[in-house]
Every structure is written in C-alpha cells, then in structure tokens.
Amino acid sequence: MAISDDPSQLEAKDLPELLQHDTYVKVAGCDVDGILRGKLMAKSKFLSIASSGFGFCSVIFGWDMHDQTYFKELKISNKENGYRDIIAVPDLTSFRRVPWETRVGAGGEELGTPFFLLSFRDPDTGESLSACPRSLLARTVNKLHEQGIGAMAGAEYEFYQFRAPNNTNGPTSERNSSATAVFLQNNPVDTLPSLTEGMFGYSLTRPTHNQEYYYGIFDACEKFRCGIEGWHTESGPGVFEAALQFGEITQMADRAALFK
C-alpha cells in the first residue's frame, strides 16, 4: 500500500518520498468560527517544520470572520503582546490532496496540491491551545480513551446554492465568487439567482440539470478524503443536503470543516 493511501500511519521520515514530485504544500488550521486559516509554503520549508511546527500569528484567535479584532481583546492575542506568534504543528495523519488544484507531475500524472491540517500550541509551554478547536476536541477524546470509551459522529449540511452572476467589471464569461461579491454590493441578496427554481425535495431529475456540478462535488469530496454518504436536493430553491460519511469523531470534525 502506498503511504498516501493510509495517512494514519504517516511519519515525518515518509514525507520526502510522499512529496517527491511537489514543490509546495498547503496548510491550514481552524479558528473558533470553523474557518480554515492557512497558507502555501515551499516544500523545503514544510519539511523543516513538519515535526517541530512553525510560528503562526495568534490574531486568528483574536478576530472575527471579517478579520475585525474583538472589542474586548483576549489574553491569547492582543495589542500588548503584539499579536505574537503561536506554534502551528502539522497533523501528518490529515494528509490529503486538493483535487480541484491540479498540475502535471514529473511522471505525467495529475497531482493535487498536498494539504495538511494544523493544530496550535502555546509558544511558552508547548501545550495545546484551548482556543484551537482541533486541540480541544483531541484532549476531550483522549479523556474518553482513558476511560475505555470511543466517540463517533456524523455531520449533515443543508444549504442554498446560487448561480454566479456575470462580473460586469471583468471578462463577460467570468462567473465566480468574486463576481458574486461585486453583484451583492449593488443588489439585494434575494436577487441572486438560485441554482434551481421551485420546491423539489429528493428529486432524481432535478440534479440532472446541473449534473456536472452535482456529480463533480460528490467525486471531488471522495478524492479529498471527505466522503459524502448521502447527497440530494432538499425542498427549496437551490437547496441541497449533504450527509458526510459517519466515522470517528476527530476525523468527522475535520471532514465537516473541510466540506464547508
């Protein structure tokens, strides 16, 4: 079995072989709002910090989802400590490749961007941070394991989907999140066109109108180690429901964050 097939056994010594055809690595950790905050780094840099971790600005735990610092600043991140760095440590067992960010490897194969999740530690004590959602969950699960107990979980999302409007300030063919943001600056939210119209819960025919998108999400999630257990339309214009594959709670939490 290739080391990339079972990342649960991945160790730092395996990384040079795993990343031999890559030049960069993407890393990200979760803030308290469940938003992934990360960066792209050179492979050489990643290999040098894979075990020890690296400095990451603590402000990700001192601001909201709009990057506005809290009115009452926290001890973990504030002006007085200069929003100092905390330590971000890659979780090697979280390895996956981003299937929608591909390039051709040295052997002619398509390679997705290598990706690892991070957990955060106190720079003084080296202990895990309570503000870090992954660390908090890991500590809780460890307490359960000490009692001979395991934890499982499932996650289900229901969400509206919209068609991206044309970007009037860019190429006429451009339809993306940037175009949507520009559109919403000048138009009410309810004028954004739904992916589909009408109430069609559990419809088998409705997804065929956007089947490349519909099946593309299912396939991409499988490749991203974020498998979907059930995927269908819900009752409402453009509403879909995704039930992620049931599993061990820490892995389920990772998949829930990554699916968003």
Q: Where are the domains of the chain?
A: 3-150, 153-259
Distance (Å, whole) CA 30 – CA 88: 11
Candidates 210, 205, 162; CA nearest to 183 is: 162
What's the chain's Rg over C-alpha atoms? 21
Model pTM score: 0.91
Mean pLDDT value of segment 198-217: 95
Q: Answer whether residue 190 shows pLDDT above 90.
A: no
Q: Answer whether residue 6 shows pLDDT above 90.
A: no
CATH number of 3-150: 3.10.20.70
Residue pointed to by tokens 């594959």: 245
Q: Answer whether residue 107 shows pLDDT above 80.
A: no
Distance (Å, whole) CA 122 – CA 126: 5
**Where is pLDDT greater, at 43 or 104?**
43
In this prediction, what percent of the chain has a pLDDT beyond 90?
78
Query: What pLDDT is attached to residue 182?
Result: 84
Query: What pLDDT is attached to residue 221?
Result: 98
Condensed to tens digits (0 to 9), the pLDDT of residues 10-56 reads 999 999 999 999 999 999 999 999 999 999 999 999 999 999 999 99
Candidates 132, 140, 134; CA nearest to 61 is: 132
Per DSSP, 200 falls in state: -
Distance (Å, whole) CA 75 – CA 57: 14
Query: What pLDDT is attached to residue 167?
Result: 57
Range 188-197, long-range pairs (CB < 8 A, 24+ positions)? 192/162, 192/163, 192/165, 193/162, 193/163, 193/165, 194/160, 194/161, 194/162, 194/163, 194/237, 194/238, 195/161, 195/162, 195/163, 195/237, 195/238, 196/233, 196/237, 196/238, 197/237, 197/238
pLDDT band, residue 210 (cuts 50/70/90): very high
Helix (H) or strand (E) holding 96: strand 85-104
CA 28 to chain centroid: 7
Distance (Å, whole) CA 73 – CA 75: 7
DSSP H helices in 153-248: 177-186, 211-223
Distance (Å, whole) CA 235 – CA 206: 11
pLDDT band, residue 175 (cuts 50/70/90): low
Q: Answer whether residue 130 shows pLDDT above 80.
A: yes
Query: What pLDDT is attached to residue 103?
Result: 85
